[in-house]
Structure 1
Amino acid sequence: MARGSGIIERFYREIMEGGNLDLIDQLGSESYTDHEEPMPGQPSGLDGIRFYVDTFRKAFPDIKVKTINPTMTDGDLEAARVVLTGTHKGELMGTAPTGNTVEFGGIDIIRVQDGQVVEHWGATDMLKLMQQIGAVHL
């Protein structure tokens, strides 16, 4: 395995943090398939990526990448663990803004073909996130 090619890092830094949603069409293939469990109301394909980013950017307008590591590639696969931070200033899946600062992470694996992402597998720690905004109490 080698160090990552950077598509995952570009997604989080330029799209999620930077808000450049136009980059989704450049990095993602029209045949894109997401294998991660969708959020309520999330469509499939590239529109699903836009929905995901828009949802998080509205809920956490100051969203920042804390860490992206390790990143690895193997053939046409790239993987990374990502940790994000932000302040809950907008509604998130029915939970009103709390002003709470959050830190949550996830794992992403993508398959790249001809320089574009064609498949994604991932797991976002939504339980930890929802606990931090008070939507879930254990």
Structure 2
Amino acid sequence: MQSIIEQNKAVVLRFNKEFIEQGNMETFKELVADNVINHSAPAGTPNGPESMIYFLQNILRTGFPDLKVEILEQVAERDLVTTRKQIKATHTGEIMGIAASGKTVAINIIDIIRLRNGKYAEHWGASNFSEIIDQIEQVE
């Protein structure tokens, strides 16, 4: 039988592979609590599940439809799972008003997830996403 820490790590891995990478909304509904708090939502915007869906489905997957998530490390303690990951993708769709550039990118991310009853309850994240936007905006 898996420990709760191993179960939590498996939930985070599944979220990354099935929802972020594949866009599976059923997985999102199964793994994210209705009252999740997204501490990484931009100031002045909703910080519930809709903010996570909007960014991942309508911004990230639109601009980078071939994205693949590579989990580099996971560390877990109590109800928290910290994941260092990299999303590799090609900019083949419009993102934030920027036309497809065909550039390959690597988005480096560190997420901290608090889980309750096997579901995302809170999310904190840091990434180099703003650098990626600067990179794809530059004309070569």
Structure 1: unaligned runs, 5 residues or longer: none
Q: Which letter maps to 2:49?
A: L
Q: Which letter maps to 1:98?
A: S
From 70, 74, 92, the equivalent of 2:73 is 70
Q: Distance in 2 between matches of 1:69 and 1:3?
A: 18
For the pair 1:9 / 2:25, whether they are aligned, the reply is no
Structure 2: unaligned runs, 5 residues or longer: none
- Which residue of the partner structure matches residue 121 of structure 2? 118
Q: Post-superposition, which runs of at least 4 consecutive aligned residues in structure 1 deviate over 4 A? A: 1-4
- Which residue of the partner structure matches residue 56 of structure 2? 53
Conserved 8 A contact 1:25-1:46: no
- Which residue of the partner structure matches residue 23 of structure 1? 27
CA-CA distance at 1:33 after TM superposition: 0.2
Q: How many residues align?
A: 134
CA-CA distance at 1:2 after TM superposition: 7.3
CA-CA distance at 1:113 after TM superposition: 0.6
Task: State the TM-score, normalizing by the size of structure 1.
Answer: 0.85
From 127, 133, 136, the equivalent of 2:136 is 133
CA-CA distance at 1:21 after TM superposition: 1.7
Partner secondary structure for residue 120 of structure 1: strand
Conserved 8 A contact 1:111-1:120: yes
Q: Percent identity?
A: 34
- Which residue of the partner structure matches residue 97 of structure 2? 94
Q: Distance in 2 between matches of 1:127 and 1:97?
A: 16
Task: State the TM-score, normalizing by the size of structure 2.
Answer: 0.84
From 56, 79, 83, the equivalent of 1:80 is 83
Greater helix content: 2
Alpha-carbon RMSD across the aligned residues, in angstroms, is 2.4
